Amino acid sequence: MNILAFESSCDETAAAVVADGRTILSNEIFSQVALHEIYGGVVPEIAARSHLEVISLLADRALEKAGLARADIDAVACTYAPGLIGAVLVGVNFAKSAALALDKPLIPVHHIRGHIAANYLAYPDLEPPFLCLAISGGNTMLVDVRGYTDMRILGQTRDDAAGECFDKSARVMGLGYPGGKPIDDLSKQGDDRAYDLPRPAVNDGNPYDMSFSGLKTAVVNIAHHAQQTDEALDKPGLAASLCRAVSETLVGRTMDAAKALGYRSIAVAGGVAANSRIRADFEAACRKAGRTLYVPPLRLCGDNAAMIGAQGYYEYLAGHIAGPDLNAYATMEI
Amino acid sequence: MTYTTHSESGTEALGAEFAKTLPAGAVVALYGDLGCGKTAFVRGMARGMGIDCVVNSPTFTIVNEYLGGEMPLFHFDMYRLGGADELYDIGWEDYLGRGGVCAVEWSENVPGAFEGDEIAVRFEKTGENDRTITIEGGPLTC
Protein backbone atom coordinates (compact mmCIF):
# COMPACT_ATOMS: atom_id res chain seq x y z
CA MET A 1 0.00 0.00 0.00
CA ASN A 2 1.52 3.32 -1.12
CA ILE A 3 0.74 6.29 1.11
CA LEU A 4 1.41 9.87 0.03
CA ALA A 5 2.09 11.75 3.26
CA PHE A 6 2.37 15.42 4.27
CA GLU A 7 3.89 17.17 7.26
CA SER A 8 3.56 20.93 7.85
CA SER A 9 3.08 21.36 11.58
CA CYS A 10 5.96 23.74 12.21
CA ASP A 11 8.94 25.03 10.22
CA GLU A 12 9.40 22.17 7.76
CA THR A 13 7.17 21.43 4.80
CA ALA A 14 7.51 17.81 3.77
CA ALA A 15 5.99 15.22 1.44
CA ALA A 16 6.84 11.54 1.16
CA VAL A 17 5.70 8.24 -0.25
CA VAL A 18 5.89 5.21 2.06
CA ALA A 19 5.02 1.62 1.17
CA ASP A 20 3.25 -0.54 3.76
CA GLY A 21 4.36 1.69 6.63
CA ARG A 22 7.92 0.43 6.49
CA THR A 23 9.63 1.34 3.22
CA ILE A 24 10.52 4.90 2.22
CA LEU A 25 10.01 5.41 -1.53
CA SER A 26 10.68 9.15 -1.27
CA ASN A 27 11.11 11.67 1.53
CA GLU A 28 11.20 15.32 0.48
CA ILE A 29 11.77 18.10 2.98
CA PHE A 30 11.82 21.79 2.22
CA SER A 31 14.36 23.76 4.15
CA GLN A 32 14.75 27.52 4.32
CA VAL A 33 17.81 27.22 2.12
CA ALA A 34 15.88 25.53 -0.67
CA LEU A 35 13.14 28.12 -0.39
CA HIS A 36 15.66 30.89 -0.86
CA GLU A 37 17.04 29.17 -3.93
CA ILE A 38 13.67 28.86 -5.63
CA TYR A 39 11.95 32.09 -4.69
CA GLY A 40 14.82 34.33 -3.71
CA GLY A 41 14.64 37.02 -1.08
CA VAL A 42 13.97 36.71 2.58
CA VAL A 43 11.31 34.31 3.77
CA PRO A 44 10.04 34.51 7.35
CA GLU A 45 11.21 31.58 9.38
CA ILE A 46 7.72 30.65 10.41
CA ALA A 47 5.10 31.14 7.77
CA ALA A 48 2.01 29.23 6.92
CA ARG A 49 2.23 30.88 3.55
CA SER A 50 5.62 29.40 2.83
CA HIS A 51 4.13 25.94 3.40
CA LEU A 52 1.41 26.84 0.92
CA GLU A 53 3.93 28.00 -1.65
CA VAL A 54 5.93 24.77 -1.72
CA ILE A 55 3.58 21.93 -0.78
CA SER A 56 2.26 21.30 -4.28
CA LEU A 57 5.77 21.27 -5.71
CA LEU A 58 6.89 18.89 -2.97
CA ALA A 59 4.01 16.50 -3.64
CA ASP A 60 5.01 16.26 -7.30
CA ARG A 61 8.64 15.80 -6.37
CA ALA A 62 7.81 13.07 -3.85
CA LEU A 63 5.91 11.15 -6.53
CA GLU A 64 8.66 11.67 -9.07
CA LYS A 65 11.42 10.50 -6.69
CA ALA A 66 9.31 7.46 -5.80
CA GLY A 67 8.95 6.69 -9.50
CA LEU A 68 5.16 6.56 -9.15
CA ALA A 69 2.23 8.07 -10.96
CA ARG A 70 -0.73 9.60 -9.10
CA ALA A 71 -2.75 6.47 -9.85
CA ASP A 72 -0.24 4.38 -7.86
CA ILE A 73 -1.16 6.14 -4.61
CA ASP A 74 -3.53 4.16 -2.38
CA ALA A 75 -4.13 6.69 0.40
CA VAL A 76 -3.17 10.19 1.55
CA ALA A 77 -1.98 10.94 5.10
CA CYS A 78 -1.24 14.22 6.87
CA THR A 79 -0.31 15.65 10.26
CA TYR A 80 -3.51 17.17 11.69
CA ALA A 81 -2.32 17.92 15.25
CA PRO A 82 -0.57 19.39 17.18
CA GLY A 83 1.26 22.41 15.81
CA LEU A 84 0.97 25.97 14.67
CA ILE A 85 -2.62 25.99 13.45
CA GLY A 86 -2.10 28.00 10.25
CA ALA A 87 0.77 25.75 9.28
CA VAL A 88 -1.02 22.47 10.07
CA LEU A 89 -4.07 23.66 8.09
CA VAL A 90 -2.01 23.96 4.92
CA GLY A 91 -1.04 20.28 5.03
CA VAL A 92 -4.53 19.17 6.06
CA ASN A 93 -6.25 21.06 3.28
CA PHE A 94 -3.77 20.00 0.63
CA ALA A 95 -4.07 16.36 1.72
CA LYS A 96 -7.85 16.66 1.72
CA SER A 97 -7.83 18.00 -1.84
CA ALA A 98 -5.38 15.33 -2.98
CA ALA A 99 -7.49 12.55 -1.43
CA LEU A 100 -10.60 13.95 -3.06
CA ALA A 101 -8.95 14.32 -6.46
CA LEU A 102 -7.42 10.84 -6.33
CA ASP A 103 -10.58 9.37 -4.77
CA LYS A 104 -8.52 7.68 -2.05
CA PRO A 105 -8.87 7.53 1.75
CA LEU A 106 -7.64 10.44 3.89
CA ILE A 107 -5.70 9.49 7.03
CA PRO A 108 -5.12 12.00 9.87
CA VAL A 109 -1.91 11.44 11.86
CA HIS A 110 -0.84 12.87 15.22
CA HIS A 111 2.60 14.49 14.85
CA ILE A 112 4.17 12.79 17.89
CA ARG A 113 2.82 9.40 16.80
CA GLY A 114 4.65 10.11 13.56
CA HIS A 115 7.92 10.76 15.38
CA ILE A 116 7.54 7.43 17.18
CA ALA A 117 6.80 5.70 13.86
CA ALA A 118 10.13 6.93 12.42
CA ASN A 119 11.49 3.90 14.27
CA TYR A 120 9.41 1.53 12.09
CA LEU A 121 11.19 2.91 9.04
CA ALA A 122 14.62 2.47 10.58
CA TYR A 123 13.97 -0.90 12.24
CA PRO A 124 11.86 -3.36 10.20
CA ASP A 125 11.72 -5.76 13.16
CA LEU A 126 10.44 -3.27 15.73
CA GLU A 127 6.86 -3.82 16.81
CA PRO A 128 4.86 -2.53 19.77
CA PRO A 129 4.77 -2.79 22.68
CA PHE A 130 7.76 -0.66 23.55
CA LEU A 131 8.63 2.44 25.50
CA CYS A 132 9.45 5.60 23.54
CA LEU A 133 11.10 8.83 24.61
CA ALA A 134 10.18 11.61 22.18
CA ILE A 135 12.64 14.48 22.53
CA SER A 136 12.80 17.56 20.31
CA GLY A 137 12.84 21.34 20.37
CA GLY A 138 9.15 21.35 21.20
CA ASN A 139 8.50 18.07 22.98
CA THR A 140 9.83 15.93 25.76
CA MET A 141 7.51 13.03 26.32
CA LEU A 142 7.76 9.49 27.61
CA VAL A 143 5.21 7.35 25.80
CA ASP A 144 3.92 3.86 26.56
CA VAL A 145 3.45 2.46 23.04
CA ARG A 146 1.07 -0.44 23.70
CA GLY A 147 0.08 -0.89 20.08
CA TYR A 148 0.54 0.90 16.77
CA THR A 149 -2.38 3.19 17.58
CA ASP A 150 -2.73 2.66 21.32
CA MET A 151 -0.45 4.97 23.31
CA ARG A 152 -0.37 6.62 26.72
CA ILE A 153 1.78 9.52 27.87
CA LEU A 154 3.64 8.33 30.95
CA GLY A 155 5.31 11.65 31.63
CA GLN A 156 6.34 14.88 29.98
CA THR A 157 8.08 18.15 30.62
CA ARG A 158 6.29 20.56 32.91
CA ASP A 159 7.98 23.55 31.30
CA ASP A 160 10.72 23.63 28.64
CA ALA A 161 11.47 20.84 26.18
CA ALA A 162 14.94 19.27 26.36
CA GLY A 163 15.86 20.73 22.95
CA GLU A 164 14.71 24.15 24.05
CA CYS A 165 17.00 23.90 27.09
CA PHE A 166 19.91 23.32 24.69
CA ASP A 167 18.81 26.13 22.36
CA LYS A 168 18.43 28.73 25.08
CA SER A 169 21.59 27.69 26.91
CA ALA A 170 23.46 27.98 23.60
CA ARG A 171 22.16 31.50 23.24
CA VAL A 172 23.52 32.72 26.59
CA MET A 173 26.81 30.98 25.81
CA GLY A 174 27.04 32.86 22.52
CA LEU A 175 26.65 29.75 20.35
CA GLY A 176 24.37 29.52 17.30
CA TYR A 177 20.75 28.47 16.82
CA PRO A 178 19.67 25.72 16.89
CA GLY A 179 21.90 25.07 19.87
CA GLY A 180 21.90 21.30 20.09
CA LYS A 181 24.78 20.59 17.75
CA PRO A 182 27.18 23.38 18.86
CA ILE A 183 26.67 22.36 22.50
CA ASP A 184 27.22 18.71 21.63
CA ASP A 185 30.42 19.54 19.71
CA LEU A 186 31.78 21.82 22.43
CA SER A 187 30.93 19.36 25.20
CA LYS A 188 33.38 16.82 23.78
CA GLN A 189 36.29 19.05 24.82
CA GLY A 190 34.92 19.75 28.28
CA ASP A 191 34.81 18.20 31.74
CA ASP A 192 31.26 17.11 32.51
CA ARG A 193 31.86 17.85 36.21
CA ALA A 194 33.09 21.42 35.66
CA TYR A 195 29.79 22.88 36.86
CA ASP A 196 27.37 21.56 39.42
CA LEU A 197 24.03 21.86 37.65
CA PRO A 198 20.67 20.92 39.18
CA ARG A 199 18.74 17.81 38.19
CA PRO A 200 15.30 19.39 38.40
CA ALA A 201 13.09 16.90 40.15
CA VAL A 202 9.35 16.95 39.91
CA ASN A 203 8.41 15.85 43.37
CA ASP A 204 4.66 16.10 43.25
CA GLY A 205 2.44 13.79 41.31
CA ASN A 206 3.73 11.93 38.28
CA PRO A 207 7.17 10.31 38.83
CA TYR A 208 7.88 10.38 35.07
CA ASP A 209 7.28 14.10 34.56
CA MET A 210 10.36 16.18 33.87
CA SER A 211 11.44 19.81 34.14
CA PHE A 212 14.19 21.63 32.28
CA SER A 213 13.39 25.26 33.05
CA GLY A 214 15.43 25.27 36.28
CA LEU A 215 18.40 23.78 34.46
CA LYS A 216 18.17 26.48 31.79
CA THR A 217 17.97 29.16 34.50
CA ALA A 218 21.05 27.71 36.23
CA VAL A 219 23.04 27.93 32.98
CA VAL A 220 21.82 31.52 32.46
CA ASN A 221 22.88 32.40 36.03
CA ILE A 222 26.36 30.91 35.53
CA ALA A 223 26.84 32.75 32.23
CA HIS A 224 25.63 36.07 33.67
CA HIS A 225 27.73 35.66 36.80
CA ALA A 226 30.84 35.11 34.69
CA GLN A 227 30.00 38.19 32.65
CA GLN A 228 29.46 40.40 35.70
CA THR A 229 32.58 39.27 37.54
CA ASP A 230 34.75 39.19 34.42
CA GLU A 231 35.57 35.59 35.23
CA ALA A 232 36.32 33.36 32.26
CA LEU A 233 33.43 31.05 31.45
CA ASP A 234 34.54 27.47 30.87
CA LYS A 235 32.23 26.98 27.88
CA PRO A 236 33.28 23.42 27.02
CA GLY A 237 32.90 22.50 30.69
CA LEU A 238 29.47 24.12 30.90
CA ALA A 239 28.35 22.42 27.68
CA ALA A 240 29.56 19.04 28.94
CA SER A 241 27.94 19.55 32.37
CA LEU A 242 24.67 20.55 30.67
CA CYS A 243 24.67 17.51 28.37
CA ARG A 244 25.32 15.30 31.37
CA ALA A 245 22.48 16.87 33.39
CA VAL A 246 19.96 16.60 30.53
CA SER A 247 21.05 13.07 29.68
CA GLU A 248 20.90 11.83 33.26
CA THR A 249 17.37 13.18 33.61
CA LEU A 250 16.12 11.69 30.33
CA VAL A 251 17.91 8.36 30.58
CA GLY A 252 17.09 8.00 34.28
CA ARG A 253 13.34 8.58 33.84
CA THR A 254 13.19 6.30 30.81
CA MET A 255 15.06 3.42 32.43
CA ASP A 256 12.92 3.74 35.58
CA ALA A 257 9.78 3.52 33.46
CA ALA A 258 11.11 0.56 31.45
CA LYS A 259 11.83 -1.29 34.66
CA ALA A 260 8.49 -0.46 36.28
CA LEU A 261 6.51 -1.42 33.18
CA GLY A 262 8.71 -4.37 32.26
CA TYR A 263 9.64 -3.17 28.78
CA ARG A 264 12.55 -4.86 26.97
CA SER A 265 12.53 -2.44 24.02
CA ILE A 266 13.26 1.27 24.32
CA ALA A 267 12.96 3.63 21.37
CA VAL A 268 14.06 7.24 21.15
CA ALA A 269 12.56 9.73 18.69
CA GLY A 270 12.96 13.40 17.78
CA GLY A 271 15.87 15.69 16.94
CA VAL A 272 17.49 15.67 20.41
CA ALA A 273 18.16 11.93 19.92
CA ALA A 274 21.13 13.15 17.83
CA ASN A 275 22.96 14.30 20.99
CA SER A 276 26.00 12.05 21.36
CA ARG A 277 26.01 12.09 25.18
CA ILE A 278 22.34 11.05 25.32
CA ARG A 279 22.95 8.30 22.75
CA ALA A 280 26.02 7.00 24.57
CA ASP A 281 24.28 7.05 27.96
CA PHE A 282 21.23 5.25 26.55
CA GLU A 283 23.44 2.62 24.94
CA ALA A 284 25.32 2.04 28.18
CA ALA A 285 22.16 1.96 30.31
CA CYS A 286 20.35 -0.43 27.94
CA ARG A 287 23.37 -2.73 27.76
CA LYS A 288 23.59 -2.82 31.55
CA ALA A 289 19.87 -3.44 31.98
CA GLY A 290 19.69 -5.95 29.12
CA ARG A 291 17.26 -3.94 27.03
CA THR A 292 17.25 -3.28 23.29
CA LEU A 293 17.69 0.32 22.16
CA TYR A 294 16.24 1.78 18.97
CA VAL A 295 17.38 5.22 17.77
CA PRO A 296 16.48 6.27 14.21
CA PRO A 297 19.12 7.91 11.99
CA LEU A 298 19.29 11.69 12.14
CA ARG A 299 17.42 12.30 8.85
CA LEU A 300 14.38 10.57 10.35
CA CYS A 301 14.69 12.26 13.78
CA GLY A 302 13.69 15.75 12.67
CA ASP A 303 10.29 16.64 11.20
CA ASN A 304 9.64 14.71 7.98
CA ALA A 305 6.71 13.24 6.08
CA ALA A 306 7.97 9.65 5.81
CA MET A 307 7.24 9.18 9.52
CA ILE A 308 3.68 10.42 8.88
CA GLY A 309 3.35 7.90 6.05
CA ALA A 310 4.60 5.13 8.35
CA GLN A 311 2.14 5.92 11.13
CA GLY A 312 -0.55 6.62 8.54
CA TYR A 313 -0.38 3.01 7.40
CA TYR A 314 -1.13 1.71 10.89
CA GLU A 315 -3.86 4.31 11.44
CA TYR A 316 -5.42 3.09 8.19
CA LEU A 317 -5.27 -0.54 9.31
CA ALA A 318 -7.00 0.52 12.55
CA GLY A 319 -9.77 2.16 10.49
CA HIS A 320 -8.84 5.73 11.41
CA ILE A 321 -9.99 7.45 8.26
CA ALA A 322 -11.25 11.02 7.98
CA GLY A 323 -13.81 12.68 5.74
CA PRO A 324 -13.60 16.00 3.93
CA ASP A 325 -14.62 17.73 7.17
CA LEU A 326 -11.25 16.93 8.81
CA ASN A 327 -9.97 19.87 10.86
CA ALA A 328 -6.53 20.80 12.17
CA TYR A 329 -5.87 21.13 15.91
CA ALA A 330 -3.18 23.15 17.65
CA THR A 331 -3.26 20.96 20.74
CA MET A 332 -4.22 17.33 21.09
CA GLU A 333 -3.47 14.41 23.37
CA ILE A 334 -1.49 11.65 21.73
CA MET B 1 1.98 47.76 40.45
CA THR B 2 5.15 45.95 41.48
CA TYR B 3 5.37 42.57 43.19
CA THR B 4 8.27 40.50 44.46
CA THR B 5 8.26 36.71 44.37
CA HIS B 6 10.85 34.39 45.91
CA SER B 7 10.22 31.13 44.08
CA GLU B 8 8.76 29.66 40.91
CA SER B 9 5.63 28.65 42.83
CA GLY B 10 5.33 32.22 44.13
CA THR B 11 5.43 33.52 40.55
CA GLU B 12 2.82 30.93 39.60
CA ALA B 13 0.54 32.01 42.46
CA LEU B 14 0.79 35.66 41.37
CA GLY B 15 -0.14 34.64 37.81
CA ALA B 16 -3.20 32.80 39.15
CA GLU B 17 -4.43 35.80 41.15
CA PHE B 18 -3.78 38.12 38.21
CA ALA B 19 -5.68 35.99 35.70
CA LYS B 20 -8.84 35.85 37.83
CA THR B 21 -9.47 39.50 37.04
CA LEU B 22 -9.01 39.33 33.27
CA PRO B 23 -11.84 39.94 30.80
CA ALA B 24 -12.26 38.02 27.56
CA GLY B 25 -10.13 39.50 24.81
CA ALA B 26 -7.37 40.65 27.16
CA VAL B 27 -3.84 40.70 25.76
CA VAL B 28 -1.09 40.19 28.33
CA ALA B 29 2.35 41.17 27.01
CA LEU B 30 5.15 39.54 28.99
CA TYR B 31 8.64 41.04 28.97
CA GLY B 32 11.81 39.65 30.53
CA ASP B 33 14.96 37.66 29.90
CA LEU B 34 15.47 33.88 29.81
CA GLY B 35 14.70 32.14 33.07
CA CYS B 36 12.73 34.99 34.66
CA GLY B 37 9.55 33.00 35.28
CA LYS B 38 7.36 33.98 32.34
CA THR B 39 6.19 30.45 31.61
CA ALA B 40 5.61 29.82 35.33
CA PHE B 41 3.47 32.98 35.46
CA VAL B 42 1.37 31.82 32.51
CA ARG B 43 1.00 28.38 34.12
CA GLY B 44 -0.43 30.23 37.13
CA MET B 45 -2.73 32.21 34.83
CA ALA B 46 -4.12 28.95 33.44
CA ARG B 47 -4.80 27.64 36.95
CA GLY B 48 -6.47 30.95 37.88
CA MET B 49 -8.70 30.61 34.82
CA GLY B 50 -9.73 27.11 35.86
CA ILE B 51 -7.71 25.37 33.17
CA ASP B 52 -6.20 22.07 34.26
CA CYS B 53 -3.82 20.92 31.54
CA VAL B 54 -0.08 20.81 30.98
CA VAL B 55 1.26 24.33 30.46
CA ASN B 56 4.73 24.25 28.99
CA SER B 57 6.89 26.50 26.89
CA PRO B 58 5.51 27.33 23.42
CA THR B 59 8.89 28.48 22.08
CA PHE B 60 8.97 25.83 19.38
CA THR B 61 5.30 25.77 18.42
CA ILE B 62 4.89 29.60 18.80
CA VAL B 63 1.47 29.15 20.42
CA ASN B 64 -0.17 26.68 22.79
CA GLU B 65 -3.94 26.66 23.16
CA TYR B 66 -5.41 25.78 26.54
CA LEU B 67 -9.10 25.02 26.50
CA GLY B 68 -11.40 23.59 29.14
CA GLY B 69 -11.70 26.67 31.35
CA GLU B 70 -14.39 29.32 31.29
CA MET B 71 -12.58 30.87 28.37
CA PRO B 72 -9.56 29.79 26.37
CA LEU B 73 -6.00 30.88 27.10
CA PHE B 74 -3.69 31.32 24.12
CA HIS B 75 -0.06 31.09 25.19
CA PHE B 76 2.24 32.73 22.63
CA ASP B 77 6.01 32.87 22.53
CA MET B 78 7.56 35.39 20.13
CA TYR B 79 11.12 34.21 20.90
CA ARG B 80 11.65 32.92 17.36
CA LEU B 81 9.89 35.78 15.58
CA GLY B 82 11.87 38.49 13.84
CA GLY B 83 9.33 41.30 14.16
CA ALA B 84 5.69 42.33 14.32
CA ASP B 85 5.36 41.73 10.55
CA GLU B 86 5.56 38.00 11.16
CA LEU B 87 2.50 38.10 13.45
CA TYR B 88 0.39 37.88 10.32
CA ASP B 89 2.09 34.61 9.42
CA ILE B 90 1.18 32.98 12.71
CA GLY B 91 -2.48 34.02 12.53
CA TRP B 92 -2.29 36.46 15.47
CA GLU B 93 -5.42 38.40 14.49
CA ASP B 94 -7.51 35.24 14.34
CA TYR B 95 -6.70 34.55 17.99
CA LEU B 96 -7.78 38.05 19.09
CA GLY B 97 -11.30 37.34 17.91
CA ARG B 98 -11.73 34.04 19.73
CA GLY B 99 -12.98 35.40 23.05
CA GLY B 100 -10.07 34.28 25.18
CA VAL B 101 -6.99 35.67 26.84
CA CYS B 102 -3.71 35.97 24.93
CA ALA B 103 -0.53 35.76 27.02
CA VAL B 104 2.51 36.69 24.96
CA GLU B 105 6.03 35.75 26.04
CA TRP B 106 8.94 37.66 24.46
CA SER B 107 6.72 40.61 23.53
CA GLU B 108 9.93 42.63 23.09
CA ASN B 109 10.37 40.80 19.77
CA VAL B 110 7.16 42.26 18.32
CA PRO B 111 7.36 45.98 19.19
CA GLY B 112 4.29 48.01 18.28
CA ALA B 113 2.10 44.95 17.85
CA PHE B 114 -0.46 45.65 20.58
CA GLU B 115 -1.49 49.27 19.96
CA GLY B 116 -1.54 50.18 23.67
CA ASP B 117 -4.50 48.02 24.71
CA GLU B 118 -2.35 45.39 26.32
CA ILE B 119 -1.51 44.70 29.95
CA ALA B 120 2.28 44.73 30.28
CA VAL B 121 3.93 42.36 32.75
CA ARG B 122 7.67 42.91 33.20
CA PHE B 123 9.93 40.36 34.87
CA GLU B 124 13.27 41.18 36.42
CA LYS B 125 15.66 38.79 38.09
CA THR B 126 16.79 40.38 41.38
CA GLY B 127 18.40 37.31 42.95
CA GLU B 128 18.90 33.65 42.20
CA ASN B 129 15.24 32.93 43.01
CA ASP B 130 13.88 36.45 43.52
CA ARG B 131 11.87 38.14 40.79
CA THR B 132 10.42 41.63 40.61
CA ILE B 133 7.24 41.60 38.55
CA THR B 134 5.65 44.84 37.41
CA ILE B 135 2.11 44.87 36.07
CA GLU B 136 0.98 47.91 34.12
CA GLY B 137 -2.45 48.66 32.70
CA GLY B 138 -4.27 45.73 34.29
CA PRO B 139 -7.26 45.43 36.59
CA LEU B 140 -5.19 43.90 39.46
CA THR B 141 -4.21 46.79 41.67
CA CYS B 142 -3.59 45.38 45.12
User: Does pLDDT of B21 surpass 80?
Assistant: yes
Measure Cα distances from A169 to A182, A184, A244, B78, B122 in Å: 11, 12, 14, 17, 22
Q: What is the pLDDT of residue A34?
A: 55
CA A245 to chain B, closest CA, distance in angstroms equals 17
pLDDT tens digit sequence for A117-167: 999 999 999 999 999 999 988 889 999 999 999 999 999 998 999 998 998
Let me know if residue B105 belongs to a domain.
no
Count up the domains in chain B and report the number: 1
Let me know if residue B62 belongs to a domain.
yes
- Interaxial angle between packed helices A85-102 and A48-66, expressed in degrees from 0 to 180 and rounded to the nearest 10: 40
A301, A104 Cβ separation under 8 angstroms: no
Minimum-distance CB partner of A220 among B34, B66, B81: B34
User: Does pLDDT of B55 surpass 50?
Assistant: yes
Banded model confidence at residue B71, pLDDT cuts 50, 70, 90: very high
Tell me the one-letter amino acid at A276: S
Full set of structural domains in chain A with CATH: 2-116+301-317 (3.30.420.40), 128-295 (3.30.420.40)
CA B83 to chain A, closest CA, distance in angstroms equals 10
State how far the Cα of A164 lies from the Cα of A148, in Å rounded to an integer: 28
Let me know if residue B138 belongs to a domain.
no
State how far the Cα of B26 lies from the Cα of A42, in Å rounded to an integer: 33
Mean pLDDT of A214-243: 93
pLDDT tens digit sequence for B81-134: 878 887 877 778 888 889 999 999 999 999 888 878 899 999 999 988 899 999
ipTM: 0.75
Q: What is the pLDDT of residue B138?
A: 65
B60 contacts in A (CB within 8 Å)?
Answer: 10, 136-139, 161, 163-164
Highest mean pLDDT among A21-35, A37-51, A239-253, B108-122: A239-253
* Residue B54 neighbours by CB under 8 Å, 6+ apart: A156, A158
Q: What is the pLDDT of residue A73?
A: 98
Q: Is B101 helix (H, G, I), strand (E, B) or coil?
A: strand
Let me know if residue B108 belongs to a domain.
no
Measure Cα distances from A68 to A5, A7, A276 in Å: 14, 20, 37
Q: Closest chain A residue to B91 measured between Cα atoms?
A: A86
Average pLDDT, chain A: 91
Q: Residues 247-286, chain A: which have Cβ within 8 Å of B?
A: none
Let me know if residue B141 belongs to a domain.
no
pLDDT tens digit sequence for B107-119: 999 988 887 889 9
Write the CATH number for B38. 3.40.50.300
Average pLDDT, chain B: 90
Q: What is the pLDDT of residue B142?
A: 38
Sheet holding A130-135, edge to edge: A150-156, A140-147, A130-135, A265-269, A292-294
User: Do residue A83 and residue B61 have CB atoms under 8 angstroms apart?
Assistant: yes
Q: Which residues of A48-72 are buried (b: 16+ CB within 10 A; e: fewer)?
A: bebbbbbbeebbeebbebbebeeee
Peptide bond into A128 cis (omega under 30): no
Q: What is the pLDDT of residue A205?
A: 79
A158 touches chain B (CB under 8 A): yes
A49 touches chain B (CB under 8 A): yes
Let me know if residue B20 belongs to a domain.
yes
Can you give the residue range of the structural domain that contains B80?
2-95+119-124
Mean pLDDT of A219-229: 92
B60 Rama class: left (phi>0) / alpha (psi -120 to 50) / beta? alpha
- Rounded to the nearest angstrom, the gap between the alpha carbon of residue A149 and the centroid of all alpha carbons in its chain is 18
Let me know if residue B73 belongs to a domain.
yes
